[in-house]
Chains A and B, each alone.
Chain A
Amino acid sequence: MSERLTQLDVRRSLPWLVVGLLVFGALLYIVVLAEPSPDIGGNWRSTTFGSAIDDWQSFTRTLLNGLTFAALLFIVASGFSLIFGLMRVVNMAYGSFYLVGGYIAYEVQQRMTGAGFTIPGIEVSTWEWVFPAIVAAGLVGLLGLVVQQLFLSWNQGQELRQALITIAISVIIADQVIAHFNGGLASTVTWPGWTNRLVELPLLGVDYSLARLVMLFLGIAVGIALWVWLYRTRTGMVIRAGVDDLQMTSALGVNIKRTLAIAFVVGSALAAFGGVVGASQGAIAPGQDGQWLLNSLVVVIIGGMGSLLGAAVGSLLYGLTFSFSAVYLPTIGDNCCTQYSIVFTFILLALVLAFRPQGLFGKFS
């Protein structure tokens, strides 16, 4: 009896042991072991910046890069998770919504500033960033409503068919984006002028881009707004009830069709808003729809479908893994090893799936 118990304990603690060792090893490497890479050669300890103790500023910047990227991930993936959690719709056109959102904001900002191809960053006012973002979120929300009403409302429950339908829509949107937005060229939305500088962070002692901090703030703001909406309003209550049991909620006399439509619109608008933020931080280009569909998928697979907390934790884990693996992998020679950073995303995903197929905060498998 006691022997069986021990076996059980070993089996239970094995995941934590594996994960713990990996995390400990990675931390040890980053904090102590890593060394700045020499000009020639290098060994397994050579990295871009060296250890956190040696080069505190680079470490902090990498950390902040990870956090700000996680904020963007969260803005995008929370909408994906909301739609999935409530309707069981895997919206494969979600990346396309991101792309369309970014491009709409670009076009609107171009018209507002009338500055042509490149806008001098310093001349953009806050309103000239906020208004395009609102237009983009609103229009893509409308697009989401049309897609949901036309293609997804009459086949509720046929998950794979819905996924296939949204794939078809994503193919059409991807092609239409190239045809209609800036000739399908990579395009940038410009942050408001006042964010275009570095700020010195108190306590940490590093200079950091204010625009990226704004991005972090926007992510947190979206998170708080979603939490208030889902946990402190009537609509949010209905949505949470719907996530748990859609039929029962419907049977209680709630107008569930309206709720589903609202959730889909909000989810689509979040994709578009994420697209605006992403287009401001980097650039937006055809093909990124696939990339952001992947990002959303990774986040919700890690965090669990339909969970706000899961989306937040998934974004953090993915964002930090992404940011640190790109900088703290050994740099030996020309071809090793930072180019393998994508492997870490996969390891993260495989670990979660191996031990918790439903995701860290997923409710069912």
Chain B
Amino acid sequence: MTRDPKQITERTIGLVAVCVLLLAPALFSDYWVDVILTQMLIVGIAAASLIFLAAYGGMISLAQTALAGTAGFILGNLATVGGEGGESKGLALGWDPTLSLVIAIVGTVLIGLFFGAIAARSTGIYFLMITLTFSVIGFYFVGQVTVISGFSGIGGINRYTPGFIGDMVNDRYRLFYIALGVALFVYAVIRFVVRTPFGLSLQGVRDEPVRMSSLGYAVPLHRTLAFGLAAFFAALSGVLLVWWQGQVAPGDVGLPATIDLLVVAVIGGLARIEGAWVGALAFILIGNYIRDSWLTRLLDDLHIGGSFNTIIGLIFLLIVIVSPDGLVGLWDRLWGRIQGGGDSDATVAPAGAVPREV
């Protein structure tokens, strides 16, 4: 083990963060725990699935929001109960919640593998375009097919949770701890997977696809499997999100939602998994506290017009221009500066954020 001060600092920060989160209900107001922190954990999981693909597979996928939504829609259609006193939208099949949950996750992974197989032969910018197309087609699908959703979506999904998950409607701390557990699980799985032979060859595929291919590695298969794994993470976040929101609607998978997730990942930093939750926290804080602040009023004062989205766009633009590696990238560079510029830390993925094109 290296005694790198940066690593020690990061681990300390991480440990403190987890401890603070564990004690969050005692430390923060209900609003903070329920809205900001829970949302941060859930959005962070979705962002982690995007960053996992970007940092270790060199694939910027815009399909993660759609995949999360897929899990939500499957769960919403299977688990809710129709008829008197039930939900009128969706298929409302009223299946066993546990079974529905399993089907939602497995189904999403299968769909992810299918999409991944189609997209896997493309890289870089093509991959981004193809996954974006999948995602927008998915949006129109759920918008048009009124049987499974309709425009207003399916509500009341959080009333039908499996017994081992418990009450999602009244016990909001419960959802927070479940989200925390799932987030830690996803983080651990990613950290584990990238050290396995599969993870290492995936990083080889990211850096030198041609060389890996001539060494006998099945490049498209690696990309497809990575995409399937990312779909699994996305499915987890999608399930948590519908429990948190209580409902799922086409808007959850629309282009604005897709771009929001990308913004989260880019603000955090596409090169490292930690960026997912850093970006999610930053994005949600901006969303909660800048929406009606002096910044948006400044727009009116300067006669520019526009709303919160203009601010978000400007912040996003600034980050992409100044620091393509996001906040975590800034942190890495700060340490590089402190340590005299000789930053050879292996955890800084060299080609993570902006993979080079051949």
Contact = CB atoms under 8 A, between A and B. Distances in A.
B316 interface: yes
A301 B310 contact: no
Nearest to A159: B125
Nearest to A305: B126
Given A163-B128, A167-B259, A342 B122 contact: no
Given A335-B147, A345-B137, A168 B125 contact: no
Contact of A157 (B256, B321, B357): B357
Nearest to A356: B121
Interface string B196-225: 000000000000000000000000000000
A339 B146 contact: yes
A123 interface: no
Contacts of A42: none
Instruction: State the majority secondary structure of interface residues on B.
Output: helix
Interface string A101-135: 00000000000000000000000000000000000
A294 B255 CA distance: 10
B15 interface: no
Contacts of B144: 339-342
Nearest to B355: A160
Contact of A290 (B124, B126, B146, B255): B255
A353 B130 contact: yes
A244 B20 CA distance: 56
Given A157-B357, A161-B354, A165-B317, A298 B133 contact: yes
B283 to A, nearest CB: 13
B309 interface: yes
A174 B309 CA distance: 8
A14 to B, nearest CB: 16
B247 to A, nearest CB: 21
A167 B316 contact: yes
A151 to B, nearest CB: 8
Nearest to B133: A297
A15 to B, nearest CB: 14
A343 B254 contact: no
A298 B140 CA distance: 14
B136 A290 contact: yes
Contact of A160 (B122, B125, B141, B309): B125
B145 A301 contact: no
Given A160-B125, A160-B128, A160-B355, A168 B133 contact: no
A36 B144 CA distance: 23
Interface in B230-279: 254-256, 259, 262-263, 266
Interface of B: 60, 118-119, 121-122, 124-126, 128-130, 132-134, 136-137, 140-141, 144-147, 254-256, 259, 262-263, 266, 304-307, 309-310, 312-314, 316-317, 320-321, 324, 353-355, 357
In order of increasing CB-CB distance, the 9 nearest A-B pairs are A171-B313, A172-B313, A290-B255, A179-B305, A168-B317, A175-B309, A168-B316, A294-B136, A159-B125
Interface of A: 88, 90, 151, 157-161, 163-165, 167-172, 174-176, 178-180, 290-291, 293-294, 297-298, 301, 335, 339-343, 345-346, 349-350, 353-354, 357, 365
20 contacts: A164-B262, A165-B320, A168-B313, A169-B317, A172-B309, A175-B306, A175-B307, A175-B310, A290-B136, A290-B255, A291-B136, A335-B146, A339-B144, A341-B144, A342-B141, A346-B134, A353-B118, A353-B130, A357-B126, A365-B121
